[in-house]
A and B are shown apart, each in its own frame.
Chain A
Amino acid sequence: MNNSWKFYNSGKKGEFFDELITDTGRPRQVAGHAVKMLQGLSTTAMAARRGAAELAIREMGISFTIYSEGKNIDRAWPFDIIPRIISGREWQKVSRGLAQRSRALNCFIDDIYNKQKILADGLMPADIVLDSGNYKPQCANVSPRFGAWAHVCGTDLVRDKDGRFYVLEDNLRVPSGVSYMLENREITKRVLPELFKNYSILPVDDYPSHLYSTLASLSPREQRRPCIVVLTPGIFNSAYFEHAYLAQGMGAELVEGSDLFVDSDDCLYMRTVDGPERVDVVYRRIDDDFLDPEAFREDSTLGVPGIMRAWKKGNVAIANAPGSGVADDKVVYAFVPEMIRYYLGEEPSLASVKTYLCMNEPDREYVLANLDKLVVKPANESGGYGLMVGPHATRAKRAEFAKLIEANPRNYIAQPTLSLSTAPTYIDDTVEPRHLDLRPFILQGKDTWVTPGGLTRVALVKGSLVVNSSQGGGSKDTWIVENSKKSSKKGAAQ
Chain B
Amino acid sequence: MIMLSRVAERLYWMARYLERAEDTARLTQAYSHLIMDIPAGSEPGWDILVRILDAEPIFGENHRVCNEQNVLKFLIADEENAGSINFCIRAARENVRTTRDVLPEEVWEHVNELYLYSVENAARSVGRRNRHKFLDQVITRCQMINGLLMTTLCRDHAYRFIKLGHLLERADMTTRVIDVGAGALLGHERLNQAVDPLIWSCLLQSLSAMGTYRRTIGPLVEADAVVEFVFRDGSLPRSVKFCLDGIRQELVPLKNHKAALKVLDRARRSLSRFHAENGEREDLHKFIDRFQLELNTLGETISTTWFMPPPEND
A261 in complex: contacting residue of B8, B97, B254, B311, CB < 8 Å: B311
| Contact of A263 with B161 at beta-carbon distance under 8 Å, contacts A271-B6, A273-B254, A273-B306 already known | no
Could you tell me the distance in whole angstroms from the C-beta of B258 to the nearest C-beta in chain A?
14
CA distance A247 to B101 in the complex (A): 8
Could you tell me the distance in whole angstroms from the C-beta of A361 to the nearest C-beta in chain B?
53
- A277 at interface (Cβ–Cβ under 8 A)? yes
- A44 at interface (Cβ–Cβ under 8 A)? no
CA distance A244 to B86 in the complex (A): 28
- A461 at interface (Cβ–Cβ under 8 A)? no
| Contact of A269 with B5 at beta-carbon distance under 8 Å, contacts A244-B101, A247-B101, A248-B101 already known | no
CA distance A276 to B254 in the complex (A): 14
A244 in complex: contacting residue of B4, B8, B100, CB < 8 Å: B100
Centre residue among A244, A253, A256, A263 by max chain B CB count within 10 A: A253
Q: Is the CB of A275 within 8 A of B6?
A: no
Q: Is the CB of A271 within 8 A of B4?
A: yes
Give the chain B neighbours of A256 by CB distance below 8 A: 6
A255 in complex: contacting residue of B4, B254, B311, B314, CB < 8 Å: B4
- A254 at interface (Cβ–Cβ under 8 A)? yes
- B51 at interface (Cβ–Cβ under 8 A)? no
Which residue of B has the minimal Cβ distance to A248? B101
B2 in complex: contacting residue of A248, A261, A277, CB < 8 Å: A277
Q: Is the CB of A271 within 8 A of B5?
A: yes
Give the chain A neighbours of B306 by CB distance below 8 A: 273
Could you tell me the distance in whole angstroms from the C-beta of B6 to the nearest C-beta in chain A?
5
Q: Is the CB of A272 within 8 A of B2?
A: yes
Q: Is the CB of B314 within 8 A of A270?
A: no
Could you tell me the distance in whole angstroms from the C-beta of A3 to the nearest C-beta in chain B?
38
Give the chain B neighbours of A275 by CB distance below 8 A: 255-256, 309, 314
- A428 at interface (Cβ–Cβ under 8 A)? no
Give the chain A neighbours of B97 by CB distance below 8 A: 235
Q: Is the CB of A273 within 8 A of B157?
A: yes
A253 in complex: contacting residue of B2, B157, B161, B311, CB < 8 Å: B2
CA distance A144 to B3 in the complex (A): 29
Give the size range of A's interface with the partner.
Answer: 20 to 34
CA distance A185 to B196 in the complex (A): 66
A272 in complex: contacting residue of B5, B100, B311, CB < 8 Å: B5
Q: Is the CB of A263 within 8 A of B101?
A: no
- B143 at interface (Cβ–Cβ under 8 A)? no
- A471 at interface (Cβ–Cβ under 8 A)? no
- A259 at interface (Cβ–Cβ under 8 A)? yes
B255 in complex: contacting residue of A235, A270, A273, CB < 8 Å: A273
Q: Is the CB of A271 within 8 A of B309?
A: yes
Give the chain A neighbours of B3 by CB distance below 8 A: 272-274
| Contact of A254 with B101 at beta-carbon distance under 8 Å, contacts A263-B314, A273-B161, A273-B255 already known | yes
- B98 at interface (Cβ–Cβ under 8 A)? yes
* B contact set with A: CB distance below 8 Å: 2-6, 8, 97-98, 100-101, 157, 161, 254-256, 306, 309, 311, 314
Q: List 22 A-B contacts (CB under 8 A).
A: A227-B2, A248-B101, A254-B101, A256-B6, A263-B314, A270-B2, A270-B4, A271-B309, A271-B311, A272-B3, A273-B4, A273-B8, A273-B161, A273-B254, A273-B255, A274-B2, A274-B255, A275-B256, A275-B309, A275-B314, A276-B309, A276-B314
The 6 closest A-B pairs by CB, nearest first: A271-B5, A261-B311, A273-B306, A273-B3, A276-B314, A273-B8
